[in-house]
Each structure stands twice: as C-alpha cells, then as structure tokens.
Homo-oligomer: A and B are copies of this chain.
Amino acid sequence: MEFKVLKDILSANDQIAEENHELLDNNKVFAINVMSSPGSGKTSTILQTIKGLKGKVKIAVIEGDVSSSIDAEKISKEGILALQINTGGECHLDANMLNRAINNLPLADIDLLFIENVGNLICTAEFQLGMHKNLVISSTAEGDDKPLKYPLMFTVADVVLINKMDLSPYLNFDANAYKNAVKALNQRAEIFEISCTTGQGVDDWLAWIKKQMDVE
C-alpha cells in the first residue's frame, strides 16, 4: 500500500517533468540540473560559467535551498536573473516546484537555465525535473570514494565536475580512483577537473556547454 502511494507520487512527478521539458524546448531554453553535497561548489561553478559565457548566452538561475537566499543574492549581484525556491525543509527539488518556477520566468529571453538543486547527494537524484542534463559536482576535499558510497547520483549524471582541484596538493584525493568509480557506474558521463578558485579546467567545462548548445 505504501509502495503504491510512493509510486503514484513518482509517476505524477515524472508527468510534470515531461511538461517542464516540453515548455523549455518550446522556448529553446537549455536547462541543467546541478547537484552535489553541501559546499562542493554549485554556486561557484554557476558564477564561473556566467563569467565565461557573458555576452554569448542569456543565462538565468533557479536557486533551490532549504532555507536562506544567500546563493540567489550572489547570482543577482552579477546582473543575472535569479529565482529562489525555499523548500521549507524538503531535501530536494521536485518537478512541481520547478513547474511553478519556470512559469514565472521570461523564457523567451533565456538561452541557458541553471537549476541549483538542494545540497544533497542522495534525495535530489531520485526526482526527475525535466531538465536537459544532470551536472554532478564533487569537491576534492570530500574524498575520492563518493561514487562508491552514493551510486545513484553518479548513475544519473550526464557530466561530472571534480571541483577544488587547487586543494589536491594538500589532500589524498586519487582522481583516477574517482573517475574509475564513476565509469563503473556510468560510461556516458564526461568528467572534468576544475577549480573555481584558480580557474583551472574551466575552459574545458565551458567548451562542453557550448557544444551542447551549439554555440561558438
């Protein structure tokens, strides 16, 4: 009985996710769902991407947080439209929250939409939102065993960033062990090593986005 209820909720979510996808496609908006542990660098990555694509692509950001609007304020300071969703305790965004948010955006004026999901390496991976790609970010400081311990997240990833590479000289982070663990779960996902602090590797990440969006 309980399982049935859960299944119905998930089906309803997936149906709204499909609506979201259609709405974005109709408006030619490319949307990326950004997921990670708390503090891996979701906002920093979005800020680096905004800087790198300025003048080429019109960007907007939906910020998902349990509480506060700290990240939306950081994005707004860059002159970028940021819409805050406070989940009020919920540990993930769902398709319905996204549907309401998307319907409040000027979609005709947006080329690239980032959804910064709640910081959570488990629950966020369970809910389809209807976006085009799932970006998963790990920080080197979290250790190289995260794909082994949180496999679903790395299974649903389309692209993976290893952030905070500037800290790796001070850590026992084995980038090859991490990459092999991701590949064992998911052959499809591309993996880039970056540092949002030094800018290392950010160009490769920007090239990936430009390729997806067919932008020079």
Picked from B39, B91, B119, the residue with its CB within 8 Å of the CB of A141 is B39
CA distance A70 to B147 in the complex (A): 12
List the interface of chain A (C-beta within 8 A of B): 37-40, 65-68, 70, 89, 91, 118-123, 139, 141-143, 145-146, 148-152, 164, 166-167, 170-171
- On chain B, the residues within 8 Å of A67 by CB distance are 148-151
A149 touches B91 (CB 8 A): no
Across the A-B interface, give the 4 residue pairs with the lowest CB-CB distance, nearest first.
Answer: A39-B142, A141-B141, A91-B122, A37-B38
Chain B, Cβ-Cβ closest to A138:
B39
Smallest beta-carbon distance A210→chain B, Å: 29
Picked from B70, B145, B151, B164, the residue with its CB within 8 Å of the CB of A66 is B151
- On chain B, the residues within 8 Å of A70 by CB distance are 145, 148-149
A91 touches B89 (CB 8 A): no
Smallest beta-carbon distance A61→chain B, Å: 16
CA distance A147 to B169 in the complex (A): 28
A39 touches B143 (CB 8 A): yes
Smallest beta-carbon distance A28→chain B, Å: 33
CA distance A184 to B38 in the complex (A): 20
- On chain B, the residues within 8 Å of A68 by CB distance are 145, 148-149
- On chain B, the residues within 8 Å of A146 by CB distance are 38-39
Chain B, Cβ-Cβ closest to A140:
B141
CA distance A148 to B68 in the complex (A): 7
- On chain B, the residues within 8 Å of A141 by CB distance are 39, 139, 141-142, 164, 167
16 A-B pairs in the complex with CB atoms less than 8 angstroms apart: A37-B121, A37-B142, A39-B139, A40-B142, A65-B149, A66-B149, A66-B151, A66-B152, A67-B148, A67-B150, A70-B149, A91-B120, A120-B120, A122-B123, A166-B170, A167-B171
